[in-house]
Amino acid sequence: MRIRPLAHAVVLAAALAGSAAAAPQPLPPPQGTQSASAFAASYGTAGVTNVSATSQRVSCYAPELAVEWKLGPADGYLDGGLSPCGGAAATGEDVGPYATQDVANPPMRVKDHSESDIRADPTNPNHLIGQVKWAVDGEGYNHLLGFYESFDDGATWSTQGHVPGYEGSVDNTDPVGAFDPWGNFYSALHPSCFCDSTTFIGDYFGLAFAGGYAYTTSVSTFNHTGENPFFHQQQVVARLGMP
């Protein structure tokens, strides 16, 4: 009686081993190269279209730091320097001044972008949110983070602008976002500033903004004497409230 179950177990194990060995293996990814013309033609074959999201709206904001570099086409900047907004903003965003700033600079036009990140809403595949550096002065690396939002699977991007509440940053970089299972969007921000090392700014970047909340972990960095201005960064996670 004790041997019979063991015999059945041996037979069953052998059968499972045989079925596992006979299981089909996945094919490797296609190898090789293709010409530039073949790659270009593949867009039409697959019905791929290219949409320039950030060119569909004009965005402006007043930067914390307004330094005119005046680099032009000869230096590789076709639209270099700072460009006053002049009332051209078409996003509905607040163009300044801001309570998070200690200056009152005029609003400038956003005209450079880099390091994009895009996410799809798990509750609605037609709802997309992208993030990117939102620069008013590319050669000066002067930017906040901006976002652009689509409700028609990327055909149009009706809602966009800079992420509000962090205008006191000289730079805000490294865009990363995520939706939770209920359709709330979270933006990971990396605000940076040049500030006095004797001043701890604490929740300076942790202010709540319209429609959402901001959660921050602050780290204050000092030089070896604790007297001179020093570079200061914080990593922030902000929750954007969705309509």
pLDDT digits (tens, 9 = 90+) for 209-242: 333 333 333 333 433 444 433 344 444 444 444 3
pTM confidence score:
0.66
- DSSP E strands, the chain: 60-61, 108-109, 117-121, 124-137, 142-150, 159-162, 171-179, 185-195, 213-217, 230-233, 235-240
Q: Give the pLDDT confidence score for residue 194 in this predicted structure.
A: 55
C-alpha to C-alpha distance for 146 and 110, rounded to whole angstroms:
10
Q: Give the pLDDT confidence score for residue 232 in this predicted structure.
A: 41
Residue spans of the chain under pLDDT 50: 1-17, 19, 195-243
Q: Give the pLDDT confidence score for residue 61 in this predicted structure.
A: 96
Q: Give the pLDDT confidence score for residue 36 in this predicted structure.
A: 84
